[in-house]
């Protein structure tokens, strides 16, 4: 029996689900810790430039591929340019998604631990220095980390069995605006802390001395991670878009909201980091150390904490759903698997990556690859290699190999909208800027520059 492709009920549903994919731990956990590691202002400037010059154009190109064919990357390339080897990049997307979703689920597990502790009233009430020890002892305990990670994946796949339309849409439509409001409340609270301006200075004062190659690579990888690019996620999602949705406007809206959430998260975290005299370069544990300290000094802290972790949980699951959908749609479309079979296989593979990553801070802490534990390694190669490589392929494919007419028809809805300025800009970025920037990064990896 042919599986019916799922669809979004409304345009708002499709856009909200794409925002749900984009907004997640990438914005709220990864962006602040990376900004902290890379010295703040200059990193953020490079990040914003990457969003505008590479992110938005590549997002539009993924939309063009997905929406013009209503297929995943492989099927789409076969239909648009028969015989083109670009179809093989679909595998990069599938493998990238499995690896990224695997380690990402571990952080989702951390969110559940913090949600559990705040809801049961045990999170707050410690000295600021103790929060770091509490976090370290938690990630050092294999059972708890694995338990929460696996629980998270079970919930993720339960939502997926109900299909994109019902699962994602409903969750994303309610939770995203709430999260946004909550972040604004927390921003105001952080800005009112004594010494908060030092944090703002750290965030927005551009000092290139602190950036270096590492900062530039991280900023580019983070832009791709945050916008869900390069692993064919948005090709898969846009394959469900309606034919009359305005792709240009949607890409700008999604990128704009996503970036706003990242910046707001920075404004929540860094004024507090400096106000409490903590270390901005604390790495992946940064928000788990600082947030309890922030909630603690707010009236009704436990309630704020619980509400925040509930919303963060939903922001995370809408991202993992979109990541899981990549291999699932791929297996259903290309290998004619039933949806249930594709779902089960994806769940097994992702759980394997997730469990190994969850143990990176305990039983498997001695296992290192290029000097990083498994979790840190995946957090590096996912965005900074798989996503950049996939982004490069998409940019080159749409910029150089796809018929201009297809791009034009998709961006303008067959001539119904004007793309006079946008289209030349997009094509320029896809043809030249994105490939040059990404190739420079890859040459840097090889040590050539
Ligand atoms: N963009 C998501 C986040 O910021 C992560 C993600 C990456 C989701 C790739 C889908 C695809 O959390």
Instruction: Look up the pTM and report it.
Output: 0.95
- Ligand 1 centroid from CA 225, angstroms: 5
Per-residue pLDDT of the chain (449 residues; tens, 9 = 90+): 344 455 666 666 677 789 989 999 999 999 999 999 999 999 999 999 999 999 999 999 999 999 999 999 999 999 999 999 999 999 999 999 999 999 999 999 999 999 999 999 999 999 988 999 999 999 999 999 999 999 999 999 988 887 655 655 676 678 889 999 999 999 999 999 999 999 999 999 999 998 999 999 999 999 999 999 999 999 988 988 888 889 999 999 999 999 999 999 999 999 999 999 999 999 999 999 999 999 999 999 999 999 999 999 999 999 999 999 999 989 999 999 999 999 999 999 999 999 999 999 999 999 999 999 999 999 999 999 999 999 999 999 999 999 999 999 999 999 999 988 999 999 999 999 999 999 999 999 998 88
Neighbouring residues of 148: CB distance < 8 A, sequence distance ≥ 6: 108, 109, 110, 112, 113
Distance from C-alpha of 321 to C-alpha of 312, rounded to nearest angstrom: 14
Q: What secondary structure letter does DSSP report for 206? A: -
- Ligand 1 centroid from CA 396, angstroms: 22
Mutate to test the pocket of ligand 1, among 19, 225, 236, 258 (most ligand atoms within 8 A of CB): 225
Mutate to test the pocket of ligand 1, among 17, 20, 22, 23 (most ligand atoms within 8 A of CB): 22
Q: Which residues pair with 369 in a beta bridge?
A: 372
Q: What is the pLDDT of residue 31?
A: 98
Instruction: Give the chain's largest Cα–Cα span.
Output: 64
Taking 3-state DSSP, the helix, strand and coil percentages for the chain, each rounded to the nearest 5, stand at 80, 0, 20
Q: How many residues does the chain have?
A: 449
Instruction: Report the run of H or E that residue 42 belongs to, with start and end.
Output: helix 41-50
Burial 235-271 (b: 16+ CB within 10 A, else e): bbbbbbbeeebbbbebbbebbebbbebbbbbbbbbbb
Q: What is the pLDDT of residue 17?
A: 82
Q: Compute φ and ψ for 32, nearest 5 degrees.
A: -60, -40
Give the architecture (CATH level 2) of 11-445: Up-down Bundle (1.20)
Distance from C-alpha of 76 to C-alpha of 234, rounded to nearest angstrom: 13
Mutate to test the pocket of ligand 1, among 17, 25, 26 (most ligand atoms within 8 A of CB): 26
Atom 10 (ligand 1): residue with closest C-alpha? 228
Distance from C-alpha of 441 to C-alpha of 449, rounded to nearest angstrom: 9
Distance from C-alpha of 324 to C-alpha of 339, rounded to nearest angstrom: 12
Which atom of ligand 1 is closest in space to residue 22's alpha carbon?
1
- Ligand 1 centroid from CA 23, angstroms: 7
Contact 353, 368 (CB under 8 A): no
Q: What is the pLDDT of residue 448?
A: 87
> Where are the alpha helices (H) located in 120-246, listed in sequence order?
128-139, 142-161, 163-191, 196-204, 212-226, 233-238
| CA separation, residue 20 to residues 226, 283, 401 (Å) | 11, 25, 30
Which atom of ligand 1 is closest in space to residue 233's alpha carbon?
11
Neighbouring residues of 192: CB distance < 8 A, sequence distance ≥ 6: none
CB-defined site of ligand 1, < 6 Å: 21-22, 24-27, 100, 225-226, 228, 231, 233, 319, 322-323
Q: What is the pLDDT of residue 260?
A: 97
Q: Which residues pair with 372 in a beta bridge?
A: 369
Domain boundaries, the chain: 11-445
Atom 2 (ligand 1): residue with closest C-alpha? 22
**3-class DSSP state for residue 373?**
strand
Q: What secondary structure letter does DSSP report for 6? A: P
Distance from C-alpha of 358 to C-alpha of 112, rounded to nearest angstrom: 13
């Amino acid at each position: 029996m042919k599986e019916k492709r799922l669809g979004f009920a409304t345009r708002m549903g499709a856009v909200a689900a794409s925002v749900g994919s984009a907004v997640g731990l990438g914005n709220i956990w990864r962006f602040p810790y990376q900004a902290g590691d890379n010295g703040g202002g200059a990193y953020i400037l490079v990040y914003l430039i990457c969003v505008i010059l590479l992110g938005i154009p590549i997002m539009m190109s993924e939309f063009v591929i997905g929406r013009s064919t209503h297929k995943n990357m492989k099927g789409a390339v076969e239909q648009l340019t028969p015989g083109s080897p670009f179809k093989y990049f679909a595998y990069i997307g599938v493998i990238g998604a499995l690896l990224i979703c695997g380690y990402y689920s571990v952080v989702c597990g951390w969110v559940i631990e913090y949600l559990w502790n705040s809801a049961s009233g045990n999170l707050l009430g410690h000295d600021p220095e103790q929060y770091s020890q509490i976090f370290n002892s938690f990630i050092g305990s294999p059972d708890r980390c694995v338990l929460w990670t696996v629980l998270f994946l079970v919930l993720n796949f339960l939502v997926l069995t109900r299909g994109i339309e019902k699962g994602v849409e409903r969750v994303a439509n309610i939770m995203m605006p709430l999260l946004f409001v909550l972040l604004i409340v927390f921003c105001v609270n952080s800005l009112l802390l004594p010494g908060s301006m030092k944090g703002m200075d750290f965030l927005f004062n551009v000092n290139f001395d602190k950036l270096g190659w590492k900062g530039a690579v991280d900023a580019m990888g983070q832009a791709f991670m945050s916008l869900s690019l390069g692993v064919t996620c948005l090709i898969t999602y846009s394959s469900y878009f309606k034919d009359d949705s305005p792709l240009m406007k949607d890409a700008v809206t999604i990128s704009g909201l996503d970036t706003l959430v990242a910046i707001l998260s920075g404004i929540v975290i860094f004024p507090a980091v400096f106000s409490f005299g903590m270390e901005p370069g604390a790495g992946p544990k940064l928000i788990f150390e600082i947030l309890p300290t922030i909630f603690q000094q707010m009236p009704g802290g436990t309630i704020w904490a619980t509400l925040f972790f509930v919303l963060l949980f939903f922001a995370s699951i809408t991202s993992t759903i979109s990541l899981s959908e990549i291999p699932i749609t791929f297996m259903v479309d290309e290998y004619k698997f039933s949806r249930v079979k594709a779902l089960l296989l994806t769940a097994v593979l992702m759980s394997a990556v997730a469990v190994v990553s969850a143990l990176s801070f305990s039983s498997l802490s001695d296992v290192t690859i290029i000097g990083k534990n498994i979790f840190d390694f995946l957090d590096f190669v996912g965005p900074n290699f798989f996503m950049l490589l996939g982004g490069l392929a998409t940019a080159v494919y749409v910029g150089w190999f796809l018929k201009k007419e297809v791009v034009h028809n998709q961006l303008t809805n067959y001539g119904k909208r004007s793309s006079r300025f946008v289209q030349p800009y997009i094509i320029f970025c896809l043809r030249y800027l994105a490939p040059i920037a990404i190739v420079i990064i890859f040459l840097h990896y090889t040590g050539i520059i």
